[in-house]
Chains A and B, each alone.
Chain A
Amino acid sequence: MTAAASHSPPSGFLARRLQGLRVWWTMLVICLEERLVYRGDFVLGTLMRFLPIVTQVFLWTAVFGATSSGSIAGYSRNDIVAYYLLTMVSRAFSSMPGLASGIARSIRDGSIKKYLVQPVDYVGYLLAARIAHKLVYYAVAILPFAGVFLFCREYFPPIPDWTTIGAFALSLVLSFLLGFFMEATLGMLGFWFLEVSSIVFAYMLVQYMLSGHMFPLDMLRGIPTGVAGVSVADVVRFLPFEYTAYFPAAVWLGKVQGAELVRSLLVEAAWVGVMIVACRIAWWRGTRRYSAFGG
């Protein structure tokens, strides 16, 4: 057998699938190793994310202390604390720091061209890198998360039934995919604009507010839009952002149940599908108009 023959592409569907899986696994391992190089920075960054929750807990405790009502927008003080903690879990899945800006940078400096000439799917590579990032993050964060949740257990309602837990887990997986494909699509706008930092920042602002990361979206129910019978909350429900923070938390707290829960999960899955298609179209059309810069 010649050297050329030994390196020829594998024939057969199963062999090609296996090779694809092997490439994907190698990418995952490389990304894991890369993440672990700067361990100190990574651990510090992970632990810090709990700090804003502390101020939110004290802020809402003060707000509840100054109001005669024991409930705000259907949330007790304990519900609010539990909600913020649960959105931390949601965000641990759906947030994609540096993804959009990284893609735009690769387009701008020309480094993306190596993915155009290699038999590697760029979006698949990014997905593997992100899964690696998340795996390392969960490995580091699981202890602080467990500690904080144990410490704050009295704020939580009783553990829900298995169906709700399953729906919660599914909503988290979908929120990861939704967050990934939304940001990846945003990054691919770099094919048209080159510099997308301002667009990314604007997206982050909108996302932060309308995802429910800042406050439970139910609080917007009383805010009118100017159209009779339509609140700001009704408008926000038509957008995909709530699935990246509010929705999983609301599922665990039992704010979304029964047919509404099934419908919402289907809508979330549909948004994931829409964003996958949008990302693929952006990649396909972007690479066709792309001119490589840099050496």
Chain B
Amino acid sequence: MTRYLSIFLTFARACLVRDMTFRANFVLECVTSLGWMAMNLAFYLLVFTFTPEIGLGTGWTKEPFFAFVATGLIINSIVQALFMPSAEELTEMVRTGGLDGILVQPLDAQFLLSMHRVDFSAFANGLVGVGLLCWAIPRLPQPPHPVAILLYPLLIACGVAILYSLVIMLAAATIHLGRNQSLYDFWFYLTNFSRYPAEIYSGPWGGPLRALCTFVIPILLVVNVPARVIAQPLTEQGGMMVAGTVFAAGAALVISRWVFQAALSKYRSASS
């Protein structure tokens, strides 16, 4: 474990050196990333000019909702920074045969393929998320319970674990498809479901969709549970959701590991 941590830190240091070599590009990437986030925040502000809350009686008024958005920004920035760049490279490695070089290394292939690149500019959104959270928390109708403050980092880690598992399974699909240029798009579209409170998925179609995105692909647990814990009063149902999220994170990691290994066993080199 220490060896892997040391290797990961070496990768991270190399990526940081590379980013700092092209400082202007790094700043531009931060700015464009922040631009995307600012645009979404502007959209939410626009929505709140037409409605006092997202869904009648859900409690997702402006400040709790922005705490929700902040939680999403923090989780997504961690995943975008640590795992997405490597997963995107995998799609090209499979097509060109570059994966061969990774498989012969005396290290775990999943570790190497999912964590060898770190995009430090993606942390910019996370920092803004922390700022947004600091703005929203004092303005919440009820201050967060001390237990909620303790649970929040754990649930953020669970959210990251669930998204990481999803990235790994999508990357594994590359090996079957030969090319998966849509990986990033699919990621974006799938995580789109987690960008809003689960309460919006109601009615004859929303109910089953909510169940699907909670129990089958637990994407709705990623942001909803930590955001609910910090922005809304703790309830018994909330406690069950916390337990469910921890379980889902563990299960997702195990399943994604199995899927990835199974996909690797089907890999046939594309190089000559």
Residues of A participating in the B interface, judged by any CB pair closer than 8 Å: 38, 40-41, 44-45, 48-49, 51-52, 54-55, 58-59, 61-63, 65-67, 69, 72-73, 195, 198, 201-202, 205, 208-209, 214-215, 219-220, 222-223
B271 proximal to A (CB < 8 A)? no
Whether A198 contacts B54 in the complex (CB less than 8 A), given A51-B190, A215-B46, comes out as no
B201 within 8 A of A: yes
Structural contact, A58 and B196, CB atoms closer than 8 A:
yes
Contact of B182 among A48, A63, A222 (CB under 8 A): A48
Q: Which residue of chain B has the shortest Cβ distance to A205 in the bound complex?
A: B35
In the complex, the answer to whether B185 meets A45 with C-beta atoms within 8 Å is yes
B contact residues around A65 at 8 Å (CB): 55-56
| Contacts across chains A and B counted by CB atoms under 8 Å | 108
For A40, list chain B residues within 8 Å (CB): 176-178
Contact with A along B193-215 (1 / 0, CB 8 A): 10110011111001001000000
A66 in contact with B56 (CB, 8 Å): yes
Interface residues of A, dominant DSSP: helix
Whether the pair A49, B43 counts as a contact (CB closer than 8 A) is no
Residues in A with CB closer than 8 Å to B50 are 63, 67, 69, 72-73, 219
Number of interface residues of B (CB under 8 A): 43
Nearest 4 A/B pairs, CB to CB? A45-B182, A62-B55, A51-B189, A62-B200
Is B179's CB within 8 Å of the partner chain A? yes
Do the beta carbons of B29 and A198 come within 8 Å of each other? yes
Return the CB mask of B217-256 against A: 1 if under 8 Å, else 0. 0000000000000000000000000000000000000000
Specify which of B25, B39, B58, B193 is in contact with A198 (CB 8 Å cutoff).
B25
In this assembly, does B180 line the interface, its C-beta being within 8 Å of a C-beta of chain A?
yes
Q: Closest residue of chain B to A52, judged by CB?
A: B192
Within 8 A of A (CB), among B111-146: none
- Chain B min CB distance to A70 (Å): 12
